[in-house]
Structure 1
Amino acid sequence: MGESVSDAVLFEAKDNGVAIITLNRPETRNCLSKEIRAGLFAAWDRFEHDPALRVAILTGAGTKAFCAGGDLKEMVETAMTVPPRDMFPVPYDTVELSKPTIAAVNGVAYAGGWMLAQACDLCVAASTARFAVTEVKVGRSSPWATPLIHMIPQRIMMEILLTGKPIDARRAYEIGLVNRIAEPGELLEVALELAGEILAGSPHSVRAARDTVMLSTEMGRSAALQAARFAAVSCYESMDAQEGPNAFAQKRIPRWQGR
């Protein structure tokens, strides 16, 4: 078990290799205040650099909000125009991560909340969750939504961004934004089950699989194939690549060593 990185962002390191990161300001709907941002940067850094941790689950405290977005009061006070490039702790963007992440969306995920849920590799949502890119409602913009085109159809993305109207968890599942829906009281359990399915695989294979998905969204077909073959070499040459077939032949569970 691990201790929290801050009061605003809780960090729990479970014995099975899962880190649970919780935005802990339900009274402000877990909006991306300075303290939330600082705590989240620290949490992602801790997760990435702890070799015992293999999957992170990001969720929010309370039942109303996963994250309601940026701190509008701060924007008013600072007369914010273009946000600094490193202002928000976005996985695989402003935060360097090499391991899988799961968003466990327990309530509203609006604006910056959608940004965080979108940035995670996988997403589990409570049946009561709602998602919206609300920037058009407050005169802001959402350039971070660009990768969304690799997740959902263009016309659906266009409607979501142009109207700012929320969609419920069922609709988010239908369009491919959400992997699984859970009853509110079972959200973390379902997210942990999904993490467990990832943990059952070889660490080398999981990393190569994630690289394959990301390369395929960033490159053309031929270039992605070549890059994915290169990214897979360390996996094929690992000890786990021998352990897997041996375990199958011996009809036993593989004993992954991550090397």
Structure 2
Amino acid sequence: MSDAVLFDARPDGIAVLTLNRPERRNCLAQDVREGLYAAWDRFERDPRLRVAILTGAGEKAFCAGGDLEEMVETGMTVPPRAMFPLPYDTIELTKPTIAAVNGVAFAGGWMIAQACDLCVASTSARFAITEVRVGRSSPWAAPLIHMIPQRIMMELLLTGQPVTAQRAYEIGLVNRLAEPAELLDTAIELAREILAGAPLSVRAARETVMLATEMGRTAALQAARHASELCYHSEDAQEGPRAFAEKRPAQWRGR
């Protein structure tokens, strides 16, 4: 893999992906995009890895967005559909992901943080959808309506003004805040809480949330019941109650 994106496969089942171009504020240049595609693919294919954390190198930026110099050089109009590696969109993933936002997450940086299932932010982080300030657009922000109130979303997109990590937490974009030196540890703690659950149950839970955001109530209930069948019929579904009754930690097998 390219050194534009570092990949740390931890023995506890957590993969840490790090955007590694701090001198360019970890912008989504071609080498970073290619590195992310490879990293997400590696994470998905490795059965030992169950949760991924995406963060940025350096203290200033998680990701400052797209490479504006590249846009000028190529005369880019509408970005190609597969240009940016977005979890659960242009990247097929079945496992949970956490964005650990260590600095600014502007435009495309907000985009990839939003695409992750969960978000932990440094208290020094800032978020902004800045496309209106450079004559671009942000169609990728459409799913944000399922995360934050409409009026707040409207203000963010119309003004391009940044918000603090505290404000992002207050509106529901961020799950947890951490001091800068404790950011990765906080994200790892959250990942470990997910790892404590049965793998098939975690997968069904994630699918249930996504189905609920995309369907009406009745359709979502029916689809979620179907998505849970594999979990209910698994060995783990018997192991969990047995372990509880025997007052011991469950031994999950993911089957």
TM value normalised by structure 2: 1.00
Q: Secondary structure at the match of 1:104?
A: strand
Which ranges of structure 1 fall in alignment gaps of 5 or more residues? none
User: For 1:149, which of 145, 151, 166 is the aligned residue?
Assistant: 145
Report the counterpart of residue 99 of structure 1 in structure 2.
95
Q: Secondary structure at the match of 1:214?
A: helix
1:215 aligns with 2:216: no
Report the counterpart of residue 50 of structure 1 in structure 2.
46
Which ranges of structure 2 fall in alignment gaps of 5 or more residues? none
Cα distance in 2 for partners of 1:133, 1:91 equals: 19
Q: Sequence identity, in percent?
A: 76
Q: Number of residues paired by the alignment?
A: 255
Instruction: Give the AA of the match of 2:16.
Output: I
Q: How does 1:166-245 map to 2 (within 5 A)?
A: 166-245=162-241
TM value normalised by structure 1: 0.98
Deviations 1:81-125 (CA, angstroms, capped at 9, x unpaired): 000000000010000000000000000000000000000000000
Runs (4 or more) in structure 1 with deviation over 6 Å come to: none
Cα distance in 2 for partners of 1:253, 1:133 equals: 44
User: For 1:30, which of 3, 26, 29 is the aligned residue?
Assistant: 26
Cα distance in 2 for partners of 1:49, 1:109 equals: 28
Instruction: Give the AA of the match of 1:186.
Output: E
Cα distance in 2 for partners of 1:77, 1:177 equals: 33
CA RMSD of aligned residues (A): 0.3
Cα distance in 1 for partners of 2:113, 2:181 equals: 19
C-alpha deviation, 1:6, in angstroms:
1.6
C-alpha deviation, 1:131, in angstroms:
0.1
Q: Secondary structure at the match of 2:132?
A: helix
Report the counterpart of residue 110 of structure 2 in structure 1.
114
User: For 1:40, which of 29, 32, 36 is the aligned residue?
Assistant: 36
C-alpha deviation, 1:255, in angstroms:
0.4
Cα distance in 1 for partners of 2:45, 2:142 equals: 28
Instruction: Give the AA of the match of 2:222.
Output: Q
Instruction: Give the AA of the match of 2:185.
Output: E
Cα distance in 1 for partners of 2:169, 2:100 equals: 13
Instruction: Give the AA of the match of 1:66.
Output: F
Instruction: Give the AA of the match of 1:17.
Output: G
Q: Secondary structure at the match of 1:103?
A: strand
Cα distance in 2 for partners of 1:146, 1:17 equals: 32
Instruction: Give the AA of the match of 1:174.
Output: E
C-alpha deviation, 1:132, in angstroms:
0.1
Instruction: Give the AA of the match of 1:77.
Output: E
Cα distance in 2 for partners of 1:150, 1:48 equals: 25
User: For 1:64, which of 49, 60, 63 is the aligned residue?
Assistant: 60
Cα distance in 2 for partners of 1:232, 1:222 equals: 16
Cα distance in 1 for partners of 2:142, 2:44 equals: 25
Instruction: Give the AA of the match of 2:68.
Output: L
Cα distance in 1 for partners of 2:157, 2:239 equals: 47
